[in-house]
Amino acid sequence: MGETIEDIESRLLDLARLQPEGISNKDLKQQLPDVPLTDLTGVINKFLKNGTLELFRTKEDLFYKFKDPSKKTAAKGSDNEEKVVYKIIEEAGNKGIWIRDIRFKSNLNMTQLNKVLKSLETKKIIKAVKSVSASKKKVYMLYDLEPDSTVTGGAWYQDQDFESEFVDVLCQQSHRFLVQRLEDATKQGGGPLIIQKRSYATATEVQKYISDLGISKVALSITDIESILYTVVLDNNAERTVASNGKFMYKAISRFLPPPGLVKTSCGICVIEDKCASTGSVNPNICPYITDWLNDS
């Protein structure tokens, strides 16, 4: 008996890998005739316990199927329900799955399912992630998966809250970068066309600038930067054109008009303007907004 238990284990594993549809006891006897049955059962039992092998049963025969060890974690010390739930969650991938859908798929009742999920969670096999689309909805996914951006909302969400300040800062910085570009180009001179050419920037350049600034803790992708730049365009602070290579180019622009006279008055931007009339409690004679405005400027 030169073979150790480890040797038997590896031989058994090789065998099981070769036959993904499963090996029966008969096969084992043929392939491993030299291994004593007691040792074999010990090894098989060990594998079954840690989930490397799975036991299947056709009419009479028992089959052992090899299971990918990378996915084996769930089975460790878990019962059947846990395995079923684990499988369902695993299928959902990094998009996660909602508890109600698990219930339908597994046919487990609520209390039982809760217990299973809790136990899986404490074992750090799965995790619950809050979805941004519905704040009360929790989705489950495997512990080591990175949640999909549709679930987390991408770089702009922190604990399912939209980080508007972060976005604002990024917008400002991107705009500043573009303005800086334009100013540099104007300083260099050399004719309007060259100035225009020089003042264009691509998203990649903006991305580099932003990451050099170090304002963002997370790495921002080009798509993230593009969407930030699009808001700058929407604020009418920049324009977007398509370069010859199909990429977007951005450039700081100025507007046609100075602020109109209308918005320089308190009345033009008054929020209760529709309640205002020559008579009544809101009227221009005693309007405190007009008084403030007259005194201020």
Partner 1 sequence: MSVTFGKVISLILTERFGPIVSSVGSFLFKSQSSPLLFITRGVDLPLSNIKASLCVLIKYGLVTFKPNKNEKLANYHLESEKVLLMLRYPKYQNLAKIQFGDESAMIIEEILQRGYWTASQLILKVHERLSTNNVNPPTLTHIKDKLVYLITSKYLERLPSPDITKAVPSLIIQENELHVLPKIDIKNLVAYQENNSVTLPDANIYWTVNFDRFHQDMRDHIIVNAFENKFDAQAGEIIKLFLRQMYVRTEPWADVSNPIPSIEIKDILKRQSHQTHALAFFDQYMSIIEQDNSRLLRKVGEASGGSYQIYLKEAFTQFAWELVEQTVLAKYNSKAARIFRLVKEKPYIEPDRIQQLAMIPAKDAKKLSYQLYEENFLHIQELRKTSSNNGPTKNFTLFHIQLENVVRMLLELCYKVQFNHITRRNYERELNKRIIDKKQRVDTILMGMRAQGATEEQLADIEEMITPPEKEVLENIEKMMKQLSLVELEIDDTIFMLKMFIVYN
Under rule CB under 8 A, which residues in 137-156 are in contact with partner 1?
A: 156
> Quick one: tokens of 47?
């594998």
Task: Sheet with 97-98: list strands edge to edge.
Answer: 97-98, 138-142, 126-130
Q: Which is nearer to partner 1, 77 or 284 (CB)?
A: 284
Under rule CB under 8 A, which residues in 158-197 are in contact with partner 1?
A: 161-162, 164, 167, 171, 191-193, 196
Residue 105, Cα to own-chain centre: how many angstroms?
25
Q: Which is nearer to partner 1, 65 or 137 (CB)?
A: 137
Q: Which stretch, 15-23, 45-53, 71-79, 256-264, contacts partner 1 (CB under 8 A)?
A: 256-264
> Quick one: tokens of 239?
């324009």
Q: How far is the CB of 208 from partner 1 (least distance, A)?
A: 21
Can you tell me which of 2, 260, 280, 288 binds partner 1, judged by CB under 8 A? 260
Residue 39 in contact with partner 1, rule: CB under 8 A: no
How far apart, in whole angstroms, are the C-alpha atoms of residue 147 and residue 143?
Answer: 10
Residue 261 in contact with partner 1, rule: CB under 8 A: yes
Cβ neighbours of residue 78 under 8 Å, at least 6 residues apart? 86, 119, 120, 123
Q: Which is nearer to partner 1, 222 or 269 (CB)?
A: 269
Q: How far is the CB of 180 from partner 1 (least distance, A)?
A: 18
Please check whether residue 88 is in contact with residue 105, taking contact to mean a CB–CB distance below 8 angstroms.
Answer: yes
What is the residue type of 64?
A: Y
- Exposure string over 20-36, b if 16+ CB within 10 A, otherwise e: eebbbeebbeeebeebe
Tell me whether strands 157-158 and 161-162 are parallel, antiparallel or unpaired: antiparallel
Q: How far is the CB of 102 from partner 1 (least distance, A)?
A: 24
Can you tell me which of 63, 143, 230, 248 binds partner 1, judged by CB under 8 A? 230
Binding site for partner 1 (CB under 8 A): 156, 161-162, 164, 167, 171, 191-193, 196, 227-228, 230-231, 234-236, 239, 241, 253-265, 267-269, 271, 273, 276, 278, 283-285, 287, 290, 294, 297
